[in-house]
Amino acid sequence: MQSQTSSKPDEQAASSWYPRDDDYYVSVLDSTLAYARRRDYAGPDYGDGMSSQLLQALPVENRVLNLVVQEVVKRTPVDIRPLLRVEHRRNYKGAALFAMANLNYYELACRRSEQDQLAFDPIAEADRLAEWLLEEQITGYSGFCGGHRHEIQHFHTKGVPSDPDIVSTAYAVKALLRATERGLGDEYADIARTATSFLVEDLNYREVDEGAKINYHMNHPEDSYTVNAAALGAGMLVDLYEHFGDEDLRERATKILDHIAANQTDIGGWPYRLPASASHLSMDSHHNGFVIEAFQRYRDVVDADRYAETLEDALEFYRTDLFELDGAPNFDEENAYPRDIHASTQGMLVFVNEGDLEFAERILRWVLANLQVNEGQFYYRKYRHHTKRVTLMRWCQGWMSYALSEFLLAAEERAQSSVETERKRASLHS
């Protein structure tokens, strides 16, 4: 399925732009993937504190203690995971990000005519990760689904590895569809297609006055609604619609996004949950980026006009309130710190989708200057007076490899288009 028209306002204005140091960026991508590959894509993860072997050895379980251990692991300036013997595992969403990054890496090498020079086989890596996504899917539900590999203590409930969620599932679906599109097997897309049943049946797709809603995961509290998770669910339906063309996928995606658009705030962003008081998070950067990306996908695949005003307001808020001019990410609409690498990588993806590669490069250069400790290894967060010196496999390496690969592919396409345009101009004047 193709979009009706393109509405990327910065594309023509930036048509002559090209990254300042693309060979170095490619080297960073290569090193980022190598870091993950050497560790078989397993490592520390955001919110993995409850996988502490010391905590699990206690004879009793206490919600408050779980939260304390989880948040201390997450927030202390130094990494205390080794002290608490926190297990390293491969994250489900992280595996999907690495699969797509490997596919992009191979595509980039082909466009640069460098595929014969690769030191490893990125297609084989992507295929191996896609197979793992199938092997590690959570069974017993209406369709394909996945979830986090660690227990996570929420304020109201506890997420367990057998509790699938739409966020992890949406990225796995995206990775499987791309694997099929790269010729790795139709079965990947066919299995991904069944995730629709998981969304509709298990996550309680239901129509409401302003459109439709879905649950984030099976044990989500009933008194609140997680906006970005719903947006990613709609984005998953758009991805499936683009591949298969089923009208019911488009219709359900539209209804979910209708509801999200109706709840956009006056300043253009969305709180993490509805009502906003249901979460300690406000309009934080990377979650708003998820929502914007879902509307961008709908624009590019289904209809450029339906959410044009919603997207315009959201992008204005996102760029003005959630990023500095030098590309530094703000945490939310009121706080600059902590500056999070996930906010940066999601920003790169959003502005790549807008065709604003110049601003995407600003974000990238900020990350390389502030959160890269060694080439291809990134830290988690920069606070006002210190940096959280831990490399999270999904949060840092997975997101960086995927965002950087998307940026480099867009930059290479821009460069090739520019060369072709100049060639045509020269032939006209010869």
Closest alpha carbon to 370 in 337, 401, 394, 410:
337
Residue 14 predicted with pLDDT over 60:
no
pLDDT-based confidence at residue 158 (cuts at 50, 70, 90):
confident
Mean pLDDT of 307-317: 98
Instruction: Give CA–CA dist 188/135, Å, rounded.
Output: 12
Q: For residue 291, give the nearest of 235, 345, 334 by alpha carbon.
A: 235
**Helix, strand, or coil here: 376?**
coil
The answer to which of 60-69, 331-340, 413-422 has the lowest mean pLDDT is 413-422
Report the candidate in 274, 275, 348, 263 with the shortest Cα–Cα distance to residue 313.
263
C-alpha 336: how far from chain center = 21
Average pLDDT of span 376-402: 96
**Given this model, what pLDDT does residue 118 score?**
95
With bands split at pLDDT 50, 70 and 90, how would you rate the model's confidence at 18?
A: low
For 363, the token pair is: 């974000």
Task: Look at residue 283 in the predicted model and tell me its pLDDT.
Answer: 97
- Structure tokens belonging to residue 246: 């089923």
In this predicted structure, what is the pLDDT of residue 9?
45
For residue 105, the SS3 value is: helix
3-class SS of residue 390? coil
Average pLDDT across the chain, whole number: 92
How far apart (Å, rounded) are the C-alpha atoms in residues 291 and 21? 30
Task: Return the closest-CA partner of residue 311 out of 270, 340, 273, 348.
Answer: 270
430 band by pLDDT with thresholds 50, 70 and 90: low
Cβ-count burial of 12 within 10 angstroms (0-12 exposed, 13-18 middle, 19+ buried)?
exposed
Q: What is the mean pLDDT of residues 250-256?
A: 98
The residue-averaged pLDDT of 363-384 equals 97
